[in-house]
Amino acid sequence: MGIIKRIFNQVSKPEGLLGNMMVRGMNSGHARLSDWGLRHLPKDEPDEILEIGCGGGRNVGELLKKYPSSKVTAIDYSSVSVDKSTKYNKKAIASGRCVVKQGDVSALELPKEKYALATAFETIYFWPGLERCFAEVFRVLENDGVFLIVNESDGTDSASLKFEKIIDGMKCYTKEEIEAALRHVGFQEIVSYHHQSNPWIAVLAIKSEPKPNTMEKELIR
C-alpha cells in the first residue's frame, strides 16, 4: 500500500503515528461543516447525548456548549480518537458532564432508550451496514429522541466518490439512501437539509411511537 493510500485509510480507523496526524487535523478540518450541522438541532436541551465517532473531540465540546446542562457520552472505534477526544474534553470529563470510551456502533454496549439525542458527524461512510447500525442508534434513543447525521458528501459529488476508490470500506450515501435505511429500522419523522453551495447534507430523524391504524384505535377504545 502506497503512503498516500495509507494516510487516507487512517480516516476510517486512525492508528499509530499516521492516525495521530489524521485525528489532529479533524477538529479544524471539519469545523465549518460541523457548525453548519449543529444549527439544525432543536433548542430543547436533552438530558443525555450520544456522540458517535467522536474523532478529535471538538463536536463533543460544541454539544456541551450548546446544551450547558446536558451530559455527553462519546464513543469511537479508534483508540487514538478516544485518547484525543478525552484530552480535548478533560475539563468536562472531570466535572462529570462527559464520558469518552471506545465502542462499536454496530453493537453498542449502552442502555436501551437512554439518550435524547445522538449525533454522527462525518462517520457513517465507514459503518458496517447502515440498517444494522441505525437499528442500534434507534434502540438506545428514548421515545421522541433525535438522531442527527452530518456528511460532507451528498453521495453524488465527484471528489468524494474518488475517495471511495482510495479508502477501503468507504461508502458515500445519498440522502435518499440514508432516509430509506432510517425508515427501515423504525424512524418515521425525517427531515433532510442540503447546503446551498457545498455538497454537505444533514439528516434529522426522530424516534416516535408508531401511530395505531383505525382498527387498533377501535380496540384501544
* Overall residue count recorded for the chain in this entry: 221
> What pLDDT, on a 0 to 100 scale, did the predictor assign at position 214?
46
What per-residue confidence (pLDDT) applies to 70? Answer: 98
The per-residue pLDDT for 221 is: 40
The low-confidence residues of the chain, meaning pLDDT below 70, are: 1-25, 210-221
Residue 211: the pLDDT is: 61
List phi, psi (to 5°) of 142. Answer: -75, 165
Give the pLDDT of residue 195. Answer: 97
Domain range for 98 is 3-220
Report the pLDDT value the prediction gives residue 167, as an integer from 0 to 100.
Answer: 76
> What does pTM read for this prediction?
0.86
Residue type, position 30, single letter: H
Residue-wise pLDDT for 89-101, tens only, equals 999 999 999 999 9
CATH of the domain at 55: 3.40.50.150
Burial class of 114 by CB neighbour count within 10 A (0 to 12, 13 to 18, 19+): middle
Structure confidence at residue 162 (pLDDT): 82
Count of structural domains within the chain: 1
- Helices (H) and strands (E) counted in the chain, each on its own, are 10, 7
Per-residue confidence (pLDDT) for residue 210, from 0 to 100? 66
